[in-house]
């Protein structure tokens, strides 16, 4: 008898279980040579030649250019085709990070963008990375977004787009999971091990080891009532 085609399957994770990747021995030297030879403006122009291809050379050059142009970049970076950046000199990237196709990280010249170890960023994600920290082992769903600033909209007789920007830090704590097409608004902290549901609009902090979903996002449940880490986080608030 064949299996029910509508029945869910459970398979092993790939990115989250991978061993710490090693770069080719020559990659660090290539990144340093690119840095010395091209400078920041030249590297951004060079990146355009390799931004969208799927071949070995394109993938290698994307990695090497990210390593050359960022403030810090660990081993094992994977950058899929079409991924882009603004002000990458403000980025600090850990080991084993995956950046999906057409994802875009928009830094600010005086900002901070920290991405921890073993972070997986899905295709078409967007980060307004003016004051952003994503800690280790975060999963970021396709199309999910961070907004790091908003216009003050004051005074009211001035077009909103001309009013000052208020930048607020966004923090995504370790082991959290952000669902497809979710939006994280300025000033929000998503706690350790929390889950944000697909399509959620997160306007306030999410508790560690909780599940939040909806528009605006609200607490749904604890991940596990019997999870000792969840109980510890709850006790810490009492």
Q: 31 is written with which tokens?
A: 């990144």
Contact 137, 119 (CB under 8 A): yes
Detail the DSSP E strand segments found in 14-60: none
Buried residues in 209-235 as b, exposed as e (16+ CB within 10 A): bbbbbeeebeeeebeeeeeeebeebee
Q: Which of 85, 39, 86, 78 is nearest to 61 (CA)?
A: 78
Single out the residue of 133, 134, 131, 201 nearest to residue 167, CA to CA. 131
Q: Which listed residue (15, 35, 71, 151) is catalytic?
A: 151
- For residue 15, indicate whether it is catalytic: no
Cβ-contact 119, 136 below 8 angstroms: yes
Q: Which residues are catalytic?
A: 151
């Amino acid at each position: 008898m064949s299996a029910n085609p509508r029945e869910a399957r459970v398979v092993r994770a790939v990115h989250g279980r991978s061993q710490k990747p090693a770069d080719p021995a020559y990659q660090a030297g290539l990144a340093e040579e690119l840095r010395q030879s091209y400078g920041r403006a030249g590297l951004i122009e060079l990146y355009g030649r390799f931004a969208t291809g799927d071949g070995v050379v394109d993938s290698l050059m994307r990695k090497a250019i990210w390593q050359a142009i960022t403030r810090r970049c660990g081993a094992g970076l994977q950058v899929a085709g079409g991924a882009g950046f603004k002000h990458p000199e403000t980025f600090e990237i850990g080991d084993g990070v995956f950046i999906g196709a057409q994802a875009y990280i928009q830094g600010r010249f005086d900002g901070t963008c920290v991405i921890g170890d073993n972070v997986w960023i899905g295709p078409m994600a967007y980060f307004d990375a003016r004051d952003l920290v994503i800690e280790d082992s975060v999963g970021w769903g396709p199309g999910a977004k961070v907004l790091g600033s908003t216009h003050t909209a004051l005074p009211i007789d001035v077009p909103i787009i001309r009013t000052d920007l208020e930048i607020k830090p966004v923090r995504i704590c370790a082991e959290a999971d952000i669902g497809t097409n979710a939006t994280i608004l300025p000033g929000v902290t998503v706690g350790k091990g929390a889950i944000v549901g697909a399509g959620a609009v997160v306007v306030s902090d999410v508790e560690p080891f909780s599940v939040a979903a909806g528009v605006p996002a609200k607490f749904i449940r604890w991940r596990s009532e019997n999870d000792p880490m969840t109980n510890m986080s709850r006790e810490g608030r009492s």
